[in-house]
C-alpha cells in the first residue's frame, strides 16, 4: 500500500498541468468571477478524479483492457498535446489580433474549451490509476485526493494568473504568455512522446 505522502506527491505532480493551464487562463482573462473559478476548479478536479478511477478500472480488468491500454498509450498524449496547441494557438491569435477581432474573446472556463482543457490536463491521471491497479492499490481515497489537489492548484493558478495579468506592465502580453504556456506544455508532451 502506498502512503499518504506518496499519494500527495503524485497528486501534486499530476496537478501541475492543471496549475499551468489555470495560470494561463488567469492571465488571459485578467479578472475572473467566482463562477469561473468554480467551473475551472470543479472540472479539472472532477476529470483528474474520474480519469484516475477509469485507469484503475481498466487496470483491474487487464485482459479486457489491453486494447484500450494500447490505444491510450499510442494516442492519448498526442491528443492532449493537440488540444493544448489548439487552445493555446487560439489564445495567442486572439491576443495579437485584439483590435481587428471585436468578437467576444475566448473564455477557457466555458463550453467546449473547458472540456478540452479538462481532458488534456487529466490524461496522465489515467496512467496513474492504471498503475494503482497493478500495485493492488485501492483507488477511492487516492482519486479523491488527486481531484482535490488539482482543484486547489487550479484555484491558486487562476488567481496568480489574474494578478500577473493585472500588473501595470503586462497588458496584452499576459494573454500571449498564457497562450505560449499552453503551447509549451503541448510541445513538452510531444517531446516526451518522441523519446
Sign of CA dihedral 81, 82, 85, 87: negative
Residue whose cell numbers read 492543471? 18
The ranges assigned to domains in the chain are: 4-194
**pLDDT at site 49:** 97
CA-derived radius of gyration, the chain: 17
Task: Convert the pLDDT of each residue in 34-58 to its tens digit.
Answer: 999 999 999 999 999 999 999 888 8
pLDDT bin (cut points 50, 70, 90) of residue 144 is: very high
**pLDDT at site 71:** 59
pTM: 0.77
Q: Which residue has the higher pLDDT, 143 or 70?
A: 143
Give the contacts of 127 (CB within 8 A, at least 6 positions apart): 55, 72
Q: Which residue has the higher pLDDT, 187 or 192?
A: 187
Greatest distance between any 2 Cα atoms in the chain: 57
Q: Is the separation of the CB atoms in 11 and 157 below 8 Å? A: no
pLDDT at 68 over 80: no
pLDDT bin (cut points 50, 70, 90) of residue 104 is: low
Quote the DSSP letter at residue 139: -
Q: Is the separation of the CB atoms in 123 and 14 below 8 Å? A: no
Among the residue ranges 33-42, 66-75, 152-161, the one predicted with the least confidence is 66-75
Cell triple for 9:
506527491
pLDDT at 63 over 50: no
Amino acid at each position: 500500500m502506498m502512503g499518504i505522502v506518496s499519494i500527495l506527491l503524485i497528486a501534486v505532480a499530476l496537478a501541475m498541468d492543471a496549475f499551468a493551464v489555470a495560470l494561463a487562463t488567469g492571465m488571459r482573462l485578467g479578472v475572473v468571477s467566482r463562477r469561473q473559478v468554480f467551473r475551472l476548479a470543479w472540472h479539472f478536479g472532477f476529470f483528474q478524479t474520474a480519469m484516475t478511477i477509469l485507469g484503475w478500472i481498466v487496470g483491474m480488468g487487464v485482459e479486457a483492457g489491453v486494447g484500450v491500454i494500447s490505444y491510450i498509450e499510442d494516442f492519448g498524449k498526442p491528443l492532449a498535446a493537440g488540444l493544448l496547441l489548439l487552445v493555446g494557438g487560439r489564445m495567442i491569435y486572439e491576443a495579437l489580433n485584439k483590435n481587428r477581432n471585436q468578437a467576444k474573446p475566448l473564455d477557457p472556463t466555458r463550453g467546449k474549451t473547458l472540456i478540452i482543457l479538462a481532458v488534456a490536463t487529466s490524461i496522465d491521471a489515467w496512467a496513474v490509476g492504471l498503475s494503482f491497479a497493478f500495485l493492488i492499490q485501492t483507488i477511492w481515497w487516492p482519486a479523491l485526493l488527486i481531484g482535490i489537489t488539482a482543484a486547489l492548484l487550479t484555484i491558486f493558478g487562476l488567481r496568480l494568473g489574474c494578478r500577473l495579468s493585472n500588473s501595470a506592465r503586462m497588458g496584452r502580453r499576459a494573454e500571449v504568455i498564457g497562450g505560449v504556456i499552453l503551447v509549451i506544455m503541448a510541445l513538452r508532451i510531444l517531446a516526451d512522446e518522441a523519446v
